[in-house]
Amino acid sequence: MRAFIALVVVIYLIGVGAALAPTIRDRWNAGTASEFADSVARAAPDALAWPARAYRAATEPAHG
């Protein structure tokens, strides 16, 4: 059971990192450290909610 929980946590953290990657890549050398931290902090709530977005994308019917 511990291994399963550890696997879920690792997958979650990888997803958060993948969701934050564009923000980090764009802002890494673009300004001051406080601007970088501010942009990451603004992107963090969306990044932390990636499982909900993935679930909705998988279960909602396609529009078309």
pLDDT 10s digits, 14-48: 999 999 999 999 999 888 999 999 999 999 999 99
Task: Classify each residue of 43-56 as buried b or exposed e, where b means 16 or more C-beta atoms within 10 Å of its C-beta.
Answer: beeebeebeeeeee
pTM for this prediction:
0.78
pLDDT 10s digits, 3-22: 999 999 999 999 999 999 99
